[in-house]
Amino acid sequence: MSAIPALDPETFKRTTLNQWEKAAPGWNDHAPQIRAWLRMATDAMLAMAAVRPGARVLDVAAGAGDQTLDIAGRVGPRGFVLATDFSPAILAYAKANAARAGHANVETLVADAERLEVEEESFDAAVCRLGLMLCPDPLRALHGMHRALKPAGRICTMVFSTPEANPCVAIVMATGREFAGIPPRDPFAPGSLFSLGKPGSADELFRKAGFSDVATTKLQAPFRLPSAAAYLDFIRTSASPIQQMLAGLDAAKQVAAWAAMEARLQKFASAHGWEGPNELLLTAGRR
């Protein structure tokens, strides 16, 4: 998911956007695996954001809309979901998926999470699943969500915690960096996969953005798949930052990089398949 070369924030964002435009079909195709992986964490996120029947919910960096479908079901026909994302390609999947599921209460809006132009004080809840960490200026995104919420409206975001607690992501990124000849860098750099993973860092931003009753809950969400190869298939087709990192390599080097990743990920294989540890942080607050 996110690579952070030493680019200025706008160039970084343009590069990331291009990658998500390309990764959109892969992310959408892996909806069943993503759904199983994030099932419990998503239920917890929606409960913490108090997503209830009749609520108006802002879904930021909604991707192909997997969590949007859950929200639409929870708020029901009297409620409303606005699914936003900066990638028109991935958001088109969210729109199509909601229509296919028969949710007439979902609208989509192409929007940078750091420039949310939605009506002030118009939402009861805001959520952002695995998106806030990819924003080079997450405080700006949180200010926008704060502004969009009605007084006492609830927010909950989901991000990855530390590289140590997410060894598969860390292995993939470190191997990619090794093959691409990119020197090790601060894993908590803005816009990176682990940028909000340090204990307390999301809480601090939430408070700065004006939220109260801020609390973070740690949650284990192991990624269970048949094999390390299946995990890498997901990463190869859906994870924009690693694609970004390997893009400059010739075909043979790319093949070697993926083979090295697979060998290193074998340690999570067992007689029952493959289980990659994954730790998430759910940060909740109130306007």
Ligand X SMILES: C[S@@+](CC[C@H](N)C(=O)[O-])C[C@H]1O[C@@H](n2cnc3c(N)ncnc32)[C@H](O)[C@@H]1O
Which parts of 97-116 interact with ligand X (CB under 6 A)?
A: 112-114
- Rule CB under 6 A: say whether 161 interacts with ligand X: no
- Helix/strand/coil for 106: strand
Residue 272 beta carbon to ligand X: minimum distance, rounded to whole angstroms: 26
- Return the residue of 87, 108, 161, 195 that touches ligand X, per CB under 6 A: 87
Interface with ligand X, residue 135, by CB under 6 A? yes
Residue 4's Cβ-side half-sphere holds a number of Cα atoms within 13 Å equal to 19
Residue nearest to ligand X (CB): 63
Among 26, 131, 167, 190, binds ligand X (CB under 6 A): 131
Supply the minimum distance, in Å, between the C-beta of residue 181 and ligand X.
26
Judged by CB under 6 A, which stretch of 84-92, 159-167, 202-210, 220-228 contacts ligand X?
84-92
> Among 57-65, 95-103, 264-272, 278-286, which window interacts with ligand X (CB under 6 A)?
57-65
Question: CB of 271: closest distance to ligand X in angstroms?
Answer: 30
CA–CA gap between residue 122 and residue 58 (Å, rounded): 9
Angle between helices 167-180 and 228-238 (to 10 degrees): 60
Residue closer to ligand X (CB basis): 67 or 192: 67
Please tell me the distance from the alpha carbon of residue 103 to that of residue 72, in angstroms, as a whole number: 6
Q: Return the residue of 16, 108, 157, 283 that touches ligand X, per CB under 6 A.
A: 16
Residue ranges in 61-80 that form contacts with ligand X under rule CB under 6 A:
61-63, 66-67
Q: Write the DSSP symbol of residue 195.
A: T
Site track 23-52 with ligand X (rule: CB under 6 A), x = hit: -----------x------------------
Asked if 202 contacts 280 with a C-beta cutoff of 8 angstroms, the reply is no
Among 12, 20, 206, 211, binds ligand X (CB under 6 A): 20
Stretch that binds ligand X, among 100-108, 128-136, 206-214, 248-256 (CB under 6 A): 128-136
Q: DSSP label at 267? A: G
Give the strand order in the sheet containing 223-225. 223-225, 273-276, 269-270
* Contact status: 90 vs ligand X (CB under 6 A): yes
Distances (CA, A) of 150 to 121, 162, 191, 203, 213: 4, 32, 28, 20, 15
E-strand stretches of the chain: 56-60, 80-85, 106-110, 123-129, 149-160, 212-220, 223-225, 269-270, 273-276, 279-286
The 10 Å CB-count burial string (b at 16+, else e) for 165-190 is bbbbbbbbbbbbbebbeeeeeebbbb
Binding interface with ligand X (CB under 6 A): 1, 13, 16, 20, 34, 61-63, 66-67, 85-87, 90, 112-114, 129-131, 134-135
